[in-house]
Amino acid sequence: MSRVSGWLDRVGARLTEAGKRLEQRRAEAQRGVREDEVAEREGAPEFVPSLDHTPLVQPRPDPAQAVPWGVRVAAEVGWRLLVLAGTVWVLMRVISAVQLVVLAFAASLLITALLQPTVARLCRIGVPRGPATALTALFGFVVIGLIGWFVTWQVMENIDHLSDQIQDGIDELRNWLLNSPFHVTDKQINEIAKNLREAVGANTEQITSAGIEGVTVVVEALTGILLAVFSTLFLLYDGRRIWEWSLKLVPAAARPGVAGAGPAAWRTLTAYVRGTVVVALIDAIFIGLGIYFLDVPMAVPLAVFIFLFSFIPLVGAVVSGALAVVVALVTQGVFTGVMTLVVVLAVQQIEGHILQPFILGRAVRVHPLAVVLAVTTGGMVAGIGGAVVAVPLVAVINTVAVYLRAYSREAAARQAVRPRGVTALSSAQAGTPVSTNTEPPVPVEGRQPGDTRDP
């Protein structure tokens, strides 16, 4: 029995040791599993789903890149044109509101451009600027007043005789129409005359109101004349200081270019006014002599009208010439009217092809299409005054644009970086001047940008 109990004790002890070893191995196995899971979580990459099973999403393009290039360019140009059109519209509205002031000041500029060289000559010979300005302005306004008085006097002196000649001319024209190959009857002529009388009678109220409005026009004209006189006096006496004050309103970066463009524009305006006066005077003298020898009544007032209308390019010559032809046709008959037309056309052809290119030269070069458009636009905006001012305004704008473009090119060339090495050698061999000055060009009065002559 003792052997059996001892054997059972040894079996129980071995079973106990085997259970402990089993528990120990189980704990080690669980510890190893936990360590493997931690290692997998720390080092394993994230799960990325297969692209074969993921929907493809294209990135949205930039809206600016999605618009075609041509459309973008058209849009950029379009909104800039809209801004310019709005600016021009506002400017036109402002000018229309103060039309009398604008036209008076423009007229004073034209008169100043005509008289300022005389003031400069008097100052050079030692006359103080104040007396020189007063003498020149007095002489100029006296001449203009005498011209106006002479025209009015001639018209009033010849109006009765002219009305009789017009009546005789109408009768002669009626007889010519009755005997002409156009087969015009006396009844048709009477019907035309009756319709004219009825039209005048029906529009009596409009004619009366126009006469009342004419009083207002006279008052406005006198106001504009006084304003132009005072503006001319101040521009002749203090024009340089007025220009220097105006330059202070320009931004500093653009001031050098504007300071050079101003004298260039003034030279263009002066050349235009001088040339136009000379051409208009030649037209008036030769056409006046022609109609005088053709025995057309009021030849001298018609010559003065031709001189004044010549300040409106193209249109003025046509209107004044047509007026002379009509007066000759009505008062002296068909032959005299035709001869007057020949004289007018001959003088205007010589003026357009010889006088204007020779007298005005390259100082005032404006395309005929620009002249027609400018005169038409000026006439629509401000009447006869706008038509007179339109062409010199276009000439001045053209001069300023050309000067500023040349100035910007010269400034860019002066600010260019000096080439080095092989580039400098090739430039020297090619004869290209290399500029080392980085300052913008300083305009010299009397010189154009790019002029290499000594001032």
pLDDT along the chain (455 residues), means of 10: 66 75 76 62 53 57 75 87 90 83 87 88 87 87 82 72 65 70 69 65 53 64 85 87 88 85 87 85 88 84 83 78 83 82 86 72 69 81 79 86 87 69 52 46 44 39
Look at the block and give the residue holding tokens 């056409």.
287
Contact 195, 201 (CB under 8 A): no
Q: Which two tokens stand for residue 67?
A: 């618009």
Residue 360 identity (one-letter amino acid): L
- pLDDT at site 449: 44
Question: Which has the closest alpha carbon to 154: 8, 352, 293, 300?
Answer: 300
Query: Could you give the CA distance from residue 288 to residue 279 in angstroms, rounded to a whole number?
Result: 14
C-alpha distances in Å from residue 370, one per residue of 104, 156, 275, 336, 383: 24, 39, 19, 35, 18
Query: Could you give the CA distance from residue 449 to residue 404 in angstroms, rounded to a whole number?
Result: 9
**Model confidence pTM above 0.85:** no
Q: Which two tokens stand for residue 310?
A: 């010549």
What is the chain's length? 455
- pLDDT at site 166: 65
Q: Which two tokens stand for residue 29?
A: 């196995």
- pLDDT at site 49: 52
Contact 453, 430 (CB under 8 A): no
Torsion sign over Cα 49, 50, 56, 59: positive
- pLDDT at site 154: 72
Residue 389 identity (one-letter amino acid): V
C-alpha distances in Å from residue 290, one per residue of 24, 45, 345: 142, 109, 12
Q: Which two tokens stand for residue 97?
A: 């509101």
Contact 330, 166 (CB under 8 A): yes
- pLDDT at site 82: 93
- pLDDT at site 440: 45
